Amino acid sequence: EVQLVESGGGLVQAGGSLRLSCAASGFTFDDYAIGWLRQAPGKEREGVSCISSRHGTTSYAESVTCRFTISRDNAKNTVYLQMNNLKPEDTAVYYCNADIWVQHYNDFYEYWGQGTQVTVSS
């Protein structure tokens, strides 16, 4: 069973830092890109960052560039999102996400974690 489990959220003051983790299981972790997305109250879900499979190529939303860093530890089946210089507008539920090939469906299926709340106070 594919599982993505986020952790590391919390309450932090503006300018502070948090590190989110996404622990994955149930699939060959090395073979898949993993993304972080977030959803603030009353807003649509938006992409934050993504990291490719084996070579670890990264991409970031413009709003978080130079503040957030995504990384992966393939030995631990975990992706991290280091968030520095946090701003109140970063407040949201953060989700990790992956499109995994499912043999039963003969197609890719999009999996999501349960999310972790990040709240940045001003």
User: Which of 23, 77, 89 is closest to 53 using CA atoms?
Assistant: 77
Percent helix, strand, coil in the chain, to 5, is 5, 55, 40
Q: Is 59:50 a contact under the CB 8 Å cutoff?
A: yes
**Sequence-distant contacts of 52-56: CB under 8 A, at least 24 apart:** 54/30
Write the pLDDT tens digit of every residue in 16-37: 999 999 999 999 999 999 999 9
Write the pLDDT tens digit of every residue in 70-117: 999 999 999 999 999 999 999 999 999 999 999 888 999 999 999 999
Q: What is the token pair recorded at 30?
A: 């090395």
